[in-house]
Structure 1
Amino acid sequence: MKKWVWVAVIVASLVTGYAVAYALKPAVPNITGYLEGQEILFQHTEVSDPKVAELLSEMVSSPVLVVPALAQAPPSLLANVFVFKNGVRGGGPFKYQPDVFDNPPGSEGYRPLRALALVTWKNEQAARVLKSEREVKAAEQAGEVVIERPGVVVNMPLVTWPGGRR
């Protein structure tokens, strides 16, 4: 009888230990954004700039690593992410609308490394949610927004995208 009690205790300990280890395993938070007019999920894991890393880490309550060498990535290795500095309030890093991505996985231009493009509405009262690169570029062409490229690179793999997921 005592033997079975010990076996039960050992099995319970192993199961509990496994459950605790599973619950405590690190996880990178998913973030909502837009691509081709649809809602997507993505992560930001590393960034070339320490101030941006601090902002993103605070946004998701998870560390975003600083890798200065990312800023040296050639343009052929970069896609774009449009981040809004004003406009419609939302879940973006500056507390405005979610980020907008170009080039989904499976497209010729897909790259997890993203060149940061900061979008500022000239007239914040006229701001609206933009959900695609095409809409962002059209707003720029119409003189509604200004796009600034500070030279920051962020590793932002997509988790879901139109027609796909990891």
Structure 2
Amino acid sequence: MGVVYSPLNSDLLTHFSTNDLFQFKNGIKGSGSLGFQPSISSSSSNQENYSPISKIYLIEWHNSSFAEILQTKSDIDSFQDDDLLTVSIARPTNDEFIINSPIVDPFQ
């Protein structure tokens, strides 16, 4: 994965307007970027607080046999509270990073 360093955007890491994007490291195989279920965003493009700037988190099931398709941030929180999965910030270069990745509804 090529990640371009952009120091002008580094302040966005702590800005309230960033979106959280959750990607799955294991679990149910699917069309997600890591080969498992699709990513979950903390907001959608029709919400007032939506931003195309996202901080990436990785979800890892403790036991893949208990994996279920999750659909919302609330689902993630619930399974994390039950100690069925771990959520960690993605650090491909040993640093936090953000991406500019607008959500586009293909049916609009």
> What range describes the TM-score normalised by the shorter chain of this pair?
0.7 to 0.9
* Pairing 1:42-81 to 2, within 5 Å after superposition: 51=1, 53=2, 66-69=4-7, 70-73=9-12, 74-81=14-21
Structure 2 unmatched runs, 5+: 91-95
Aligned to 2:88: 148
Aligned to 1:132: 72
Larger radius of gyration: 1
The 4+ residue runs of structure 1 with deviation greater than 6 A are: none
Residues 126 and 71 of structure 1, relative CA distance in 2, 3 Å threshold: farther
Secondary structure, counterpart of 1:108 in structure 2: coil
Which of 27, 31, 50 is 1:110 aligned to?
A: 50
Shift of 1:139: 0.9
- The one-character-per-residue Cα deviations of 1:34-77 (angstroms, maximum 9, x if unpaired) are xxxxxxxxxxxxxxxxx3x4xxxxxxxxxxx7353344413323
One-letter identity of the residue aligned with 2:87: I
| 8 Å Cα contact 2:45/2:104 also seen in 1 | no
Matched, 1:122 2:62: yes
Alignment length (residue pairs): 101
Secondary structure, counterpart of 1:146 in structure 2: strand
The answer to which structure has the higher helix fraction is 1
Residues 71 and 146 of structure 1, relative CA distance in 2, 3 Å threshold: farther
One-letter identity of the residue aligned with 2:105: T
Q: Distance in 2 between matches of 1:120 and 1:99?
A: 12
Shift of 1:144: 0.8
Structure 1 unmatched runs, 5+: 1-50, 54-64
Q: Distance in 2 between matches of 1:123 and 1:145?
A: 8
Aligned to 2:104: 159
Q: Distance in 1 between matches of 2:59 and 2:42?
A: 14
One-letter identity of the residue aligned with 2:32: G
Which of 30, 34, 41 is 1:94 aligned to?
A: 34
Higher mean C-alpha displacement, 112-121 vs 102-111: 102-111
The percent identity for this pair of structures is 21
Q: Distance in 1 between matches of 2:50 and 2:6?
A: 22
- Normalising to structure 1: TM-score of the pair? 0.54
